[in-house]
Amino acid sequence: MPTRGLTRMEDELTRAQHYRSLAAQLNETAGNELDNARRKQLLELAGQYERLADKLIKQHAPKK
């Protein structure tokens, strides 16, 4: 039976994967967007999801 800490880590890594998927979708949408201002907003939002995913992953990376 998994420990509570392992379950939390798995949940956060699953969320990170979901955030990366959302970022990819937003980047794709931005690539098809004709309006420059909206494209910029979509890319900024995608970047925020990427940074959030990075933060979650770094929390569980082995310490050096």
Phi-psi label, residue 63: left if phi above 0, alpha if psi -120 to 50, beta otherwise: beta
Listed by start position, the domains of the chain span: 4-59
pLDDT score recorded for residue 1: 42
> Which two tokens mark 50?
């990427």
Contact between residue 41 and residue 25 where contact means Cβ atoms under 8 Å apart:
no
The pTM (predicted TM-score) of the whole model is: 0.82
> Which two tokens mark 61?
């990376």
Contact between residue 27 and residue 64 where contact means Cβ atoms under 8 Å apart:
no
At 8-60, the pLDDT tens digits run 888 888 999 999 999 999 999 999 999 999 999 999 999 999 999 999 999 88
